Amino acid sequence: MKELELKYGCNPNQKPSRIYMADGSELPIKVLNGKPGYINFLDAFNGWQLVKELKEATGLPAATSFKHVSPAGAAVGLPLTDTLAKIYWVDDLGELSPLACAYARARGADRMSSFGDFISLSDVCDVDTARLIKREVSDGVIAPGYEPEALEILKQKKKGNYNVIEIDPAYVPAALEHKEVYGITFEQGRNELHIGDDFFDRIVTENKDMPKEAKIDLAIAMITLKYTQSNSVCYVKGGQAIGIGAGQQSRIHCTRLAGQKADNWWLRQAPQVMGLQFLDTIGRADRDNAIDLYIGDEYMDVLADGKWQQTFRVKPEVFTREEKRAWLDQMADVSLGSDAFFPFGDNIERAYKSGVKYVAQPGGSVRDDNVIEACNSHGMVMAFTGIRLFHH
């Protein structure tokens, strides 16, 4: 197949629309089910690059959950703890394959943002992963292959219209890439930057103790940032992104946005949240929404007007600000990556509130000394990479 006609472009009024290879060669993908659209393919191709690089960097199966051309989550296939399995709503599925664990983590860290995602998998989609995907609200998936039973499971989704794309894992794109804006063609070399252990060797803080686990988490952060709309900041812990902030005009706003997502991920594991007793009729998405209200300041309004009876079997106790802060203070050893330098130390101060211990950023700000001083005041470890990772 040398070209694929699409229903429309970004918006329904943007016609005609298609994908094709400029040199006339065959497309490196096959559509096995459904009719993916313009934005579906943008998410699929960006997500595929991300998981391919995560697999190369860590040796582990990888998955990402993409929304609006940025990842809502990204992770590698480490086993799930009982707590994570419960807050990701997969504790009823038994022991999952490494690839399914990767997607459960990628989807689960920020379930609200992942709602209606496009999934990318580094490995052949197995039955465990397909079963997990089938019960989530999602637009489609791209992978290098599908087990026959897994493909049949996915074909049943969305009344048979679920988008399933197979990509040739041996495909290598041209060294130069092109983009057209307002009738004008831009050309640049592809961002083929390799992110390995040595990427974090230039440590500029007093504390220079960066364990292997932190380097893996920082690699996940930086690879995720390569495919996130800038400005972008990524918090990572235990092999998965737990907070991604993208597209803000201010770096501190990205740091705050991603930090709040990381905080919510940790708050979901608090005893007050784990003990919530939902009505059996409440689905996963509605539970996610209820938890978001519960850990936010809006929950006092829900308690006041009695709406809790529509969601919970037992009226929850108020999760006070003091209790939330005490729980958040237990979050530790979080890694943080930034696609460009931190211009002020306020980013570090905000990151510290979310348990950040390890930082990687390009450096090069006129206020680098201020940023380093902020790290030193909290005993944090920071590496300057010297490389920016903007993605537009």
Q: Which H/E stretch holds residue 112?
A: helix 111-114
Whether the Cβ atoms of residue 65 and residue 43 lie closer than 8 Å to each other: no
Q: Of 50, 63, 189, whose CA–CA distance to 126 is shortest? A: 63
If phi > 0 it is left, if psi is from -120 to 50 it is alpha, else beta; for residue 282 that is: beta
Count the Cβ atoms, other than its own, within 10 Å of residue 52.
17
Contact 247, 392 (CB under 8 A): no
Q: Which of 55, 67, 226, 357 is catalytic?
A: 67
Q: What angle do CA 303, 92, 239 make, to 5 degrees?
A: 90
| 391 counts as catalytic | no
- From 11, 13, 159, 392, active-site residue: 392
- Specify the amino acid at residue 46: N
Catalytic annotation on 67? Answer: yes
- d(C-alpha 217, C-alpha 230), whole Å: 20
The whole-angstrom separation of Cα 185 and Cα 189 is 14
The residues facing 64 across adjacent strands are 74, 120
Q: How far apart are CA 23 and CA 258, in angstroms?
A: 40
- Residue pair 168/49 in contact by the 8 Å Cβ criterion: no
Residue with tokens 């998405």: 285
Count how many Cα atoms sit within 13 Å of the Cα of residue 114 in the half-sphere of its side chain: 28
Dihedral class, residue 5 (left if φ above 0, else alpha if ψ from -120 to 50, else beta): beta
User: Which SS3 state, helix, strand or coil, does residue 163 take?
Assistant: strand
Please identify which of the residues 231, 237, 347, 357 carries the catalytic annotation: 231
Backbone angles phi, psi at 190, to 5 degrees: -60, 150
Determine contact, residues 364/343, Cβ cutoff 8 Å: no
Residue 392 known to be catalytic: yes
* CB atoms closer than 10 angstroms to residue 332: 9
Q: What type of residue sits at position 313?
A: R
68, 253, 307, 378: the catalytic one is: 68
Instruction: Note whether 167 and 28 are within 8 A (CB).
Output: yes
Sign of CA dihedral 207, 211, 212, 215: negative
Residues serving a catalytic function are 67-68, 231, 392
